[in-house]
Amino acid sequence: MNASMMLPDTLKDSNSTIINNQSWFITIDVLLIICLTLAIILAIIFLFIVSIDSSCQTVPMILIANSCFSGLSLAVALLWSTIVTFHNDLNQIQYQDPTCIMRAYFIYVTFAALCYSLLLQAIYRYIIVIYPNRLSWQSKQRQLFLICLSWIFVFLYAVPVLLKVDDQICQMPLHLAVITVYNTLCVYFIPVSGIILVYIKIVLYVKEMSKNVTTANNLIRAQRELKMVHQIVILISILLSLDFSFSGFLFPDHHFPDFLTTPIKLAIRNITNQRTNTIAATMT
């Protein structure tokens, strides 16, 4: 999708590389720009409604608004990156601009913020079901504190990632390293495992409630919160699927180490030369 994901030609200068691009790269760039723009508009409308309507300023809506704001921030960061990519693809150049690292930083930060905002929603639903009498844990002040804490964490977590970003592709190099494990642990493992753990705990709790004598209101409330957490699990699964699909859509040539790519290239070249020699010998 990115112009940097194609092999460069021999014509280069100090700042840019002229490449041979495929036309569908530009089509996908335009499609992404349209989709991201629509997502930004819808998110702004939702946040505007929540901000002016006092009935929407409850704790659950504040947590949902935090997820919406995280998604809006991610969409803005992706739109910024996609516009630069579209410009490079349209002009068939690979330009290493100085803002590349900052774009990568904000994409990692906002994606992590979105994942942790979903985790906060799941934890809040867990508290409502398991500890309904702990009102201090459900207070608006406590949830706002956790929201601020999550944003501080994602901005700090991405600092080591910022130092390791590949300035040619605006993301971390795709090879096994300490920073890769660190990024996977912070962005994927902690929030996803937390959400799944909350979901399992609520499922077991609802099953236990259905076996014991309990009020219908409590059971209905627990089942309702279970459905909400189930939707969060589906949403985080979709996000991870899209992220892995986008990351693995095309792999730049320089992502693979030389000890892997060089033998493969030599083997393909030898096979091609052998077939060419065989055909030439047959014709003569």
Q: Which domains does the chain have, with CATH numbers?
A: 3-248 (1.20.1070.10)
Question: Mean of the pLDDT values across residues 103-132?
Answer: 90
Distances (CA, A) of 275 to 270, 279, 281: 9, 6, 10
Q: Which of residues 20 and 197 earns the better pLDDT score?
A: 197
Q: Which of residues 145 and 131 earns the better pLDDT score?
A: 145
Question: Mean of the pLDDT values across residues 154-162?
Answer: 81
Q: How confident is the model at residue 170 (pLDDT cuts 50, 70, 90)?
A: low
The torsion angles phi and psi of 195, rounded to 5 degrees, stand at: -65, -45
| pLDDT over threshold 70, residue 220 | yes
Question: Mean of the pLDDT values across residues 76-103?
Answer: 79
Structure tokens at 270: 């030898």
Question: pLDDT tens digits for 33-65?
Answer: 999 999 999 999 999 999 998 888 899 999 999
State residue 231's pLDDT score. Answer: 82
- From CA 164, how far away is CA 246, in angstroms rounded? 20
| pLDDT over threshold 60, residue 118 | yes
- From CA 93, how far away is CA 57, in angstroms rounded? 48
* 150, 117 contact by CB (below 8 A): yes
Question: pLDDT tens digits for 221-258?
Answer: 777 787 888 888 888 888 777 766 555 544 443 344 44
Distances (CA, A) of 221 to 92, 190, 202, 210: 56, 27, 11, 12
